[in-house]
Structure 1
């Protein structure tokens, strides 16, 4: 007869009391705009238990103290990483990139060749596949686009994923299933450091992109406009009021006719922002001023 399984205390989730959950949820909302409804209490407990143990803390009350302590900035970033999911891939939601390639980029390329300033923002760029896909699309339309005033800003709130994005190193399986016609022969190559199963994005692709840490719910550190903004699968973490505020910021940064691409499960209603109109599947266009 088998002996009963003994579950040791360190193998079970720590108890997340309601008071601890409420405090953590308030911090996540205040600092990052994350909306943690009561139904997510079990999820929060599961994801944070490992972090609490790794820090050698006895309970979530101690963890709350750390989140509000003198080194709170570092730990709040760890909190953000634990509570959000960085799922992305090259040319994710391919219809967005087809629309960019066929209907938007040709005009932007023409204007860039004439000397105009062209800017695209990948807001919530995660580990970099999105801005690199935008850059690859631009280079497909004009291999010499790097000689113009065409730039892509790629930002995320999480410094850890930004580090991966800037490194531009990806596993071979991360481009499995992506049509090779979307890449030029020189766009990707095996890791020069000799690691097998890894590839790197070419320097002319990387040169189009500037990376930076930006919190979308804070005051944005720039006033210049963007011709196109990608912000996909970011607003799903916000409550409606925060979403409306972010949509307003984007609308203010877009020129008349500028485009905003959002995630497949996200929507912008007229009541959320009257300056943006539907222009395709999860694509919005800045209305002309009256």
Structure 2
């Protein structure tokens, strides 16, 4: 799938492939032209992806080839045992979680999971969790706390499921309880936005000692499309909304709402998934080492202070 701003790059890459094909099928020497075009493509890529608008980053965060939670877990962890169910209603497939080891250190991995095709998307409910999903996540967090294992959450959701049945089963209460309980967890908690970070659906697993975002992701109380719909009664102003809302990772860092940005390969995380997972793994181990050196009381105190200071303005 090509995004609009990627089309000029794709056209040059198609031209490059044509040149290489000519070189293979004939005796014509096009090596200089190939080299020149490769340099031009590299320069255009660098220019394009270093000057993305906020809306273009939103588009990249939703790219269908982008790595999802399980992609990262299976690439990062040496082994992974998925755990199921909230012990009350059912197993919500929109949220996955379980124990996995990284460099002989056991972590509890939890995250929203989307699907690649229609069948998977229906199974995962497009990454939109029901109350039982958040209750499953909290059960796993408490299990990690019991065995003194650090927690890593991967955030990637367009929001909590807004259906009537979700509200009937206590969607708001489930998310609110997660917020309260995550503040008081005695183990290190690292939260990483790997795609979309929308609304309370993202925040329900987003309270941590470290909150990080991949470069081409977004984090906000509402999506640009829904914001546009509310303010202008049309989706046509979604780009304007994205700019006004300042949803990008760089905006979140400037506003001190996150603790760091994880750089992506040129072109996005889906261009080189293994390289992206390797960088995420490195960041997880680094932050876990720093957090493990703090006492439980100090870690909880810093976690609470961090979130309580957000939105405070002095004049």
TM-score of the superposed pair, with normalisation by structure 2 = 0.30
- Whose helix fraction is larger, Structure 1's or Structure 2's? 2
TM-score of the superposed pair, with normalisation by structure 1 = 0.32
